Amino acid sequence: MLIHSINVVRKMSYVYKLCGIAFFSLMLLVFSNQVKAQDSTAGGAAAAPAGGGDAEKGKTLFTNNCAQCHAVTGEKVVGPGLKGIEERAPSRDWLHKWIRNSSAVIATGDAYANQVFNANGKVQMSSFPSLSDADIDGILAYIDQANKPAITASTAPTGTDSGGPTVANASASSGPSELFTFVLVALLIVMLLVLGVLLVIVTILSKAVSPVTTESVQTSSFGQRLKTGMSDAFNNSTLRSIVIVLFLLVATKETIDGAYSIGVQKGYAPKQPIAYSHKLHAGQYKIDCNYCHTGAQKGKSATIPAANICMNCHGVIKKESPEIQKIYAAIENNQPIEWIRVHNLPDLAYFNHAQHVNVGNVQCQTCHGEIEKMEVVEQRSSLTMGWCIDCHRRTEVNTKDNAYYDKFVAIHRKESKEPLKVANIGGLECSKCHY
Amino acid sequence: MENTSKRYWKGVEELRNDATFVKNANSEFANPDPSESSNDLNGLLGGSNTQRRDFLKVMGFGMAAVTLAACETPVHKAIPYINKPEFTFPSISDYYASTFSEGGDYAAVLVETREGRPIKVEGNQQSSISKGGTTARVQASVLSLYDIDKLKGPKRGDADIDWATADREIINQLNSVAGKNGAIRIITSTILSPTTKAVVADFVAKYPSARHITYDAYSVAGLIQANQSSFGKAVIPSYDFSKADTIVSINADFLGSWIAPIEFMSAYAKGRKIGAVGGGKKTMSRHYQFETGLSMTGSNADYRTAIKPSQEGLVVAALYNKVAAKLGGTSIGTSSVEVANLDKAASDLANSRGKALVISGSNDPNVQTVVNALNGLLGSYGTTIDINTPVNYRQGSDQQMNAFINEAKSGQVGAILFFGANPVYDHPRGAELAEALPKVALSVSFADRADETASLAKYITPAPHYLECWNDAEPKQGYYSLTQPAITNIYKTRQFQSSLLTWAGKPNDYQTYLKNYWEENLFTEDTGFSSFEKFWVQSLNIGVFEPNKDEAPTGGASFVGNVAAAGAAIAQRYKPTTGMELSLYESVGIGTGAMANNPFLQELPDPVSKACWDNYAALSQKTAHDMELAQNDMVTVSVNGKSIDLPVLVQPGQADNTVSVAIGYGREKGGKSANGVGKNAYPLATVADGFIMYTAFSAKVEKASGSHIIAQTQTHDTVMGRTAVLQESRLASYQKNPKAGRHEPKVQTSKGPTDATNITLWDGYGKPNHSWGMIIDLNSCIGCGTCVVACNAENNIQVVGRQEVINRREMHWMRIDRYYSSDAEAEDYSALEVASANPEVTFQPMLCQHCSNAPCETVCPVLATTHSTEGLNQMTYNRCVGTRYCANNCPYKVRRFNWFKYTDNDNFDYQYNNDLGKMSINPDVTVRSRGVIEKCSFCVQRIQEGKLTAKKERRRLAPDEVQTACSQSCPTNAITFGDMNNPESTISKVLMVEQQGRAFHVLEEINVRPQISYLTKIRNKDEEPSKEANKEVHA
């Protein structure tokens, strides 16, 4: 008996070990995931302090004012590429005048100005009378810096600068579901192990209960022992019940999870009537999202740009492309382009872009994912109510310089030391979104 | 059967054991003839041939198909503009100033458009005439734009033709008529637009035999005639009810339908507002009403007397004589009349000389002449009446119209053009005209549908809705406003003006014509603009141009009429009768019936009777009892051999031995919502001395067979002494104690009685930022129902139709409860249910009270109704499972259940059953489906929008920045909405004062703490000491 019980104890410790391994691997999965998220945050943060001085300011100005038509490289967008602009232009002073009001320079009959004007299809460059000499110098410095080989290498991380934190955000938001799969798999493994262990226990216990058979069992081969063990286990009603209950539990859980995913179109990436690439426009050329999605700051709908917005650039660029010809056809036939809606909210939910983008200063990528890397737009977030609520619980209210929130901030400071979250100002209430 | 020894046979076949019988004995239903069913594809799905197996097959296939289809997520398209207008953004509303003018009714409006489609009409605050107020018809007008029953293009008879063909043929025929010097007649309702009149003049210049004839479906030609004889001016003067201390109205429903309710309502309410909402004023006007049926105006009167139509002239004459006796005028010889309150009215009028106003709704010029003389005696001209600033709301001439019908009958008319006119339906001699019309060589109607007149015309050249038009209006001399299109023409329609210009051989661009007209005629005034273009843009922007606004009323007018002759004529015509008398009236919602195909208006309950989707014969309680008639019994009402069958509605306050019937119903070709609703009462009007009389002194009312249930939204008439619901007092008591009439419930506790609000089970909710609330002033609310329609339009509220209203399933989020007083003693509960013969009436708008301790929230098993931190009681449709516990537990009964899906449902064929009608949907509000509860949301979409605007501009919300649809539309400003947490908002300022005065919560003792406060109703009546003392004892 004693030997048996020691045996049992030894076996039990084996079970503990197994459990330990399972939990360890589980924790590993969890942590590795977090580490991943932290890595990308750290990368983004590290890249931020690159550069400085005039060129830094120039970069902002360039992005806001010039990038729609010009590339810092030699490549032509609407206007010519700006690589080596200072060497080409007659003088820096000439550049100041040109950028502030190009048509005035052309009107003076300046030879180089007219040459540039004619070479670029006589498309007038926008005037920027508000830029000071120092601003323009900054822009030029940035162009210069961007084209220096040493710096070019470091512009790559700078490029992810704006995307960095949001990438982290995105992966964090997609994290739970990945994690969930891991947990599920791990749980299944643990369950199988437990099952195996139980089998062993039952075999041993059955031996203990009927000592007569002990000898024969001990002498019989492993295969036979397993066979007897299995059939014993199968005939054991307790064990059978446990297995059935476990099976039912897992099945129910799967059904519920399946039901929750009905109508969730995460990953939906339909083929659009025009093969428009966000990767090219938003990623490579860094055109500001608001340039095309004019409603995002103003109203409920971010709006898909009208054909006349496309024509701002494509009136000149890549006119021959068959995809762009489709826009021309739409305008000629007065037949609007029927895009396929990727992000669909049910009618019963009210979502307003201006509230989030303008007031809340939420980045587009927070909900739409790394749109600047998408060749075809894909729905990256689940867009379920749980997803909305989750974000409202986590997100701090952008109260800075917004007098509307002053009262909330004052009240909240009195009551709590935690930051003011959207949930604290009624962001979880039904009629914020349902009416 | 087993227990009996007898054998039964199904028939001889069974007894004989026929082969066919045996074959069929086992099948439940007899097999049809196989030759009929075998190749019949319909047999599978429809008709009696369907077999159970087929049914199961179809069902199985259907289920499989649905399951398969459900796997595929539907693809939604996102379609942007091709060329986006620079200042228009999808999902952001644009507002355009415009003008509603429909048969002389006028309102300056702002049209809210979304992605280029008008979805709502608001009042334009810039107008000093309508002052931002609207009426039910103005609010409902946006739905008429999307009326599916409208014509899609011009027609010749039943055939569709194009405009070029129509123009060519009509011009040819006009020329041939004009060539023979045949008469051309342009028949219109009142035209407010001076530019349109110029267009008509151009047309007449081209065809000199043409003449323009104006008539009004509800005529006030008698008043115009009387002013002609009294003052030498054939006009309607401006009335200012706000300046009158004593108002006496004889059969004029000036708040509901008479001349210009929109203008009169706000002025009247201004004189009736007291306390904090009236600027601290503690006096109010006193209003006497002498009338036949209980009108909305009569319901608001302090003293109301029921009179028979045959007494109308005598009452006016007696009033004149009594006032003349006090103020020194010559009396006129008419027989005396004994009606209540006449002496009192006369003495009040005499005492408030210079601040008095007498009006009459009669179309008898003699009566109006005496009224003019009376107003002259009282010094009303130059104070409450301004005859030097005439109004243009009604310009019809009964005599000209009569002459025209005679002409048409005798075949003297060569061509007729009808614009905004449907005389076959809405003129008492319509039937005669209908007979004459086919004989006329050329008849053209500009109606938007083949209505009763247009369907008889040779051509229909449809004119668009006013929201698709350019136009202007001059409702009052020197007050102009512009109509600009808010949407391009939906169908192939063309403006009346453009058509006339085309036929007159002129350039037909009416926009340019209008601009030129303004440049030539209005820019000459002192506009303060350097260029016409600037002036034009500014006028279009604000919608109105009012050069006369700052001019004070220019003196009075001296009465030069012959009051003695008028008196003699009255004595001749008005004599006591013994039989039944008839009075025809214009209902507040439907009006003259021109907009009868508007389901919002059909479902708007009458302010007083609360009946909708029907007109009826209103009889007094005594008359109905005497004639052994009950509600809903059919009666035949006949006058001069013309009769209609109507259901009876027992109306407290109706004069005995009289019957009142609303005009505007009984359309036959108005459209699917209008056709067959009620009966046409216009033929019962008579023409006397060339004027249409809307009364008849000898009518017959006989019981007819059958009954017809009248759909009423409120069937319990009295408040049964429940002071917790309705609190009212009289002016003298109020002046002594601002809390007069307040009921302050106390609850007994172990420590003695305490306020009901001190004891609670609930913890309450914090309202840190905003606390949205509302004040409803029962003194300002006149019961017109504008808010109800405004709420319908704003919140996509479904129309349910007559039968569902009878089933008490109307969906209105806002209702106006009307309570009659009862003469019974406070203990006699069954008698308390019966209204007085001439009851006092109180209107109480009732909507979700947004209780802070909401009983509905406590009982919802799925948390579909919850409370917000802004004091709102939120309703989440997608969470609601339809238990209706909340509706049962709501003490105010304001929750509505969707018994059906009312959209895309042929049983509810109203605005949401077609794509055109759905264009009126407010995109910010969910369209509710079957099985969920809905209720007033305090227009949460507007609150959210207002907050977002403030946030985007990085500022706090301004006081009163957010307005609900009801508060915005109210023509009397009875509803004040705002943030009770903002001390600067109007609601906070009023509550600060009135919490110690008139403010009360309905059912305060149940301590649900509503966000809505009501202000007590104060009547300007003398105290009745004996009864008051009695009341004190009972209390």
Whether A311 is in a domain gets the answer no
**CA distance, residue B952 to nearest chain A CA (Å):** 6
Highest mean pLDDT among A13-27, A346-360, B543-557: A346-360
Q: A403 in contact with B at a CB cutoff of 8 Å?
A: yes
First and final C-alpha spacing in chain A:
72
Q: What integer pLDDT is reported at residue B1025 of this predicted model? A: 59
Minimal Cβ distance to B91: which of A301, A308, A435 = A301
Q: Which of A109-123, A298-312, B387-401, B891-905 has the lowest mean pLDDT?
A: A109-123
**Taking CB atoms and an 8 Å cutoff, what residues of chain B touch A410?**
none
Query: pLDDT per residue over A208-253, tens digit each?
Result: 776 555 455 456 677 787 888 788 878 888 888 999 999 999 999 9
Across the interface, whether the CB atoms of A299 and B92 are under 8 A apart is answered yes
Domain that residue B484 falls in? 155-214+396-476+479-545
What region does B931 belong to: left with phi over 0, alpha with psi -120 to 50, or beta?
left
User: Is A282 within a domain?
Assistant: no
CB contact (8 A) between residue B73 and residue A268: yes
Does B925 share its domain with B807? yes
**Whether residue A172 sits in one domain with residue A91:** no
- Residue B950 Cα, gap to closest chain A Cα (Å): 7
Size of interface A-B (CB pairs under 8 A): 151
**Across B107-111, B122-126, B795-799, B834-838, least confident range:** B834-838
CB-CB neighbors (< 8 A) of A409 in chain B: none
Contact between chains at A340 and B75 (C-beta distance less than 8 A):
yes
- pLDDT, chain B, mean: 90
Residue B829: predicted pLDDT: 81
Same domain, A176 and A42: yes
**Contact assessment for residue B945 and residue B930, using Cβ atoms and an 8 Å cutoff:** no
- Tens digits of residue pLDDT in B305-331: 999 999 999 999 999 999 999 988 788
CA distance A233 to chain B (A): 41
Do B402 and B383 lie in a common domain? no
Residue A325 within any structural domain of the chain: no
Same-domain check for residues A29 and A172: yes
Q: What is the pLDDT of residue B24?
A: 63
Query: Is B29 domain-assigned?
Result: yes
**CB-CB under 8 Å, A340 with B76:** yes
Measured CA to CA, the distance from residue B956 to residue B951 in angstroms comes to 7
Distance from CA of B85 to the nearest CA of A (A): 10
Q: Inter-chain contact B83–A307, Cβ cutoff 8 Å?
A: yes
Secondary structure in 3-state letters for B909-951: CCHHHCHHHHCCCCCCCCCCCCCCEECCCCCHHHHHHHHHHHH
**Domain of residue B678, CATH code:** 2.40.40.20
Tell me, yes or no, whether B685 and B772 share the same domain. no
- Is A331 at the interface with chain B, CB within 8 A? yes
Same domain assignment for residues B387 and B420: no
Asked whether the beta carbons of residue A300 and residue B91 sit closer than 8 angstroms, the reply is: yes
Do A404 and B79 count as a contact with CB atoms less than 8 A apart? no
Give A 268-287 residues with CB within 8 A of chain B.
Answer: 268, 270
A298, A348, A358 ranked by CB distance to B878: nearest: A348
Q: How far apart are CA B928 and CA B902, in angstroms?
A: 9
A319 touches B94 (CB < 8 A): no
CA B873 to chain A, closest CA, distance in angstroms equals 9
Q: Are residues A40 and A93 both part of a single domain?
A: no
CB contact under 8 A, A336 and B91: no
Last residue of a domain, one of B545, B561, B579: B545
Regarding whether A248 and A176 lie in a shared domain, the answer is: yes
Residue A409 in any domain: the answer is yes
Domain co-membership, A75 together with A138: yes
Nearest chain B CA: its distance from A98 CA (Å): 28
The pLDDT of B214-220, averaged and rounded, is: 94
Determine, yes or no, domain membership for B288. yes
State whether B878 and B1011 are in the same domain.
yes
Residues B173, B253: one domain? no
Which of B77, B866, B947 comes nearest A340 by C-beta?
B77
Q: Are residues A43 and A168 located together in one domain of the fold?
A: yes
Judge whether residue A26 has pLDDT over 60.
no
- Which of B687, B712, B737 is the endpoint of a domain? B712
Query: Best mutation site among A430, A432, A433 for testing chain B: the one with the most B CBs within 10 Å?
Result: A430
- Assign residue B374 the CATH number of its domain: 3.40.228.10
The string of pLDDT tens digits covering residues B722-764 is 888 999 999 999 999 999 999 988 888 888 888 888 888 888 8
- B80 to A304: CB separation less than 8 angstroms, yes or no: yes
- pLDDT for res B38: 42
- Is residue B58 very low, low, confident or very high in pLDDT (cuts 50, 70, 90)? confident
B690 plus B816 within the same structural domain:
no
CA distance A230 to A199: 8
Q: Do B386 and B402 reside in the same domain of the chain?
A: no
Choose the final residue of a domain: A122, A156, A190.
A156
Note whether B282 and B273 are within 8 A (CB): no
Instruction: Report CA Rg, chain A.
Output: 32
Closest by Cβ to B869, choosing from A339, A403, A429: A429
Question: Is this prediction's ipTM beyond 0.90?
Answer: no
* Structural domain ending residue among the three candidates A260, A293, A315: A260
Q: What is the mean pLDDT of residues B801-818?
A: 94
- Distance CA(A98)–CA(A92), nearest Å, equals 10
CB contact under 8 A, A306 and B77: no
Nearest to A402 among B73, B876, B954 (CB): B954
Q: Same domain for B860 and B791?
A: yes
Number of Cβ within a 10 Å radius of residue B534: 12
* C-alpha B1007: how far from chain center: 35
- State which of A107, A125, A156 marks the end of a domain: A156
Distance (Å, rounded) from C-alpha B484 to C-alpha B487? Answer: 9
Q: A39 with A174, same domain?
A: yes
Which residues in chain A have their CB less than 8 angstroms from residue B872's CB?
Answer: 431
Q: What angle separates helix B365-377 from helix B563-573, to the nearest 10 degrees?
A: 130
Domain that holds residue A197: 2-47+164-260
Residues A186 and A256 in one domain: yes
Structural domain includes residue A119? yes
Q: Is A266 a domain residue?
A: no
CA gyration radius for chain B? 31
* Cα–Cα distance for residue pair B779/B789, rounded to 1 Å: 21
pLDDT value, residue B557:
78
Number of domains in chain A: 3
**Where residue B434 sits, what CATH number does that domain have?**
3.40.50.740
| Same domain? B813 vs B882 | yes
Q: Are β-strands B617-619 and B642-650 bridged in parallel, bridged antiparallel, or unpaired?
A: parallel
From the candidates B813, B940, B951, B957, which should be mutated to test the interface with A, based on the most A CB atoms within 10 A? B951
pLDDT in tens, B493-539: 999 999 999 999 999 899 999 999 999 998 887 778 889 999 999 99
Contact B834, B825 (CB under 8 A): no
Domain contains A356: no
The owner of tokens 């490579």 is A284
**Co-location of B895 and B809 in the same domain:** yes
For B83, which of A306, A340, A347 is closest by C-beta distance?
A306
The pLDDT of residue A54: 74
Nearest CA in chain B to A415: B768
CA-based nearest residue to B186, from B670, B517, B196: B196
Query: Could you tell me if A214 and A237 lie in one domain?
Result: yes
- A341 part of contact set with chain B, CB < 8 Å: yes
Among B649, B684, B712, the domain boundary falls at: B712
What DSSP string runs through B514-574? Answer: HHHHHHHHTTTS----SSHHHHHHHHHHH-EE-TTTTPPP-------S-HHHHHHHHHHH-
**Where does the pLDDT of residue B54 fall: very low under 50, low under 70, confident under 90, or very high at 90 and above?**
confident
Which residues in chain A have their CB less than 8 angstroms from residue B80's CB? 303-307, 336-337, 339
From B812's Cα to the closest Cα of chain A, the distance in A is: 16
Cα–Cα distance for residue pair B483/B491, rounded to 1 Å: 19
pLDDT of B424 strictly over 50: yes
* Residue A326 forms part of a structural domain: no
Asked whether the beta carbons of residue B940 and residue A431 sit closer than 8 angstroms, the reply is yes
Q: Is the pLDDT of residue B5 over 70?
A: no
Task: Give the pair of three-digit tokens for residue B762.
Answer: 């609930």
For residue B976, pLDDT beyond 80 = yes
User: Which amino acid appears at position B853 of this protein?
Assistant: N
Is residue A65 located within the same domain as residue A27? no
Q: Are A15 and A95 members of one domain?
A: no
Domain tally, chain B = 5
pLDDT tens digits, one per residue of B235-276: 999 999 999 999 999 999 999 999 999 999 999 999 999 999
* Chain B residues with a Cβ under 8 Å from any Cβ in chain A: 73, 75-84, 89-92, 768-769, 866, 868-870, 872, 874-879, 924-927, 937, 940-941, 944, 947-948, 950-952, 954-957
What's B1009's domain CATH number? Answer: 3.30.70.20
In A37-96, the residues whose Cβ lies within 8 Å of chain B are: none
The pLDDT, as a whole number, for residue A433 is 93
The least confident of A307-316, B58-67, B577-586, B958-967 is: B58-67
Minimum CA–CA partner of A397 in chain B = B951
Q: Which of A294, A404, A412, A432 to mutate to test the interface with B (most CBs of B within 10 A)?
A: A404
The strand pair at B686-688 and B633-639 is best described as unpaired
Residues B834 and B946 in one domain: yes
* Nearest beta carbon to residue B81 from set A336, A404, A406: A336
Strands (E), A188-301: none
> What are the DSSP calls for B297-316, one per residue?
HHHH-SEEEE--GGGHHHHH
B107 lies in some domain: no
